[in-house]
Amino acid sequence: MGCVKSKRSDSAAQNANFTEKTEGKAKGEKAYLVHSEMDSSESSPSVNPVLQEFAQRLSEEIVARAVQQWVEVDRRYSDIPYIECDVFDLLLD
């Protein structure tokens, strides 16, 4: 039990030190982020074409697999009728 208390108080002290350090830099970081957002609108970053093509093929493969899975599940359970039921109506009866 004593170890848990000491760990908690130690982490609280570390958290306080971290908060004090970051509070002093928060304004500078915020200004830096705003400045970099302005720069990013002026020129787009260069993207590696090989990486972009890989990401495109991967996303298309994921979508194709998801659609195929949906088709298989739909085919498997298409003969089961869908019964719409409101749970609140059952609870009130």
Q: What is the pLDDT of residues 24-83, one digit of tens each?
A: 544 455 555 555 555 555 567 898 999 999 999 999 999 999 999 999 999 998 888 877
Quote the tokens at residue 43: 């020129």
* φ/ψ (deg, to 5) at 70: -60, -40
Q: List the domain range (segments joined by +) for residue 60.
A: 2-92
pLDDT for position 30? 52
**Number of separate domains in the chain:** 1
CA distances from 13 to 1, 19, 35, 65 (A): 19, 10, 33, 49
Average pLDDT over residues 13-19: 48
Half-sphere exposure of 52 (CA within 13 A, CB side): 5
**pTM of the model as a whole:** 0.40
Question: How far is it, in rounded angstroms, from Cα 46 to Cα 83?
Answer: 53
Residue 15 has pLDDT above 90, yes or no: no
CA distance 56 to 63: 11
The confidence score (pLDDT) of residue 82 equals 77
- Helix or strand or coil: residue 79? coil
Query: Average pLDDT in the 7-33 region?
Result: 48
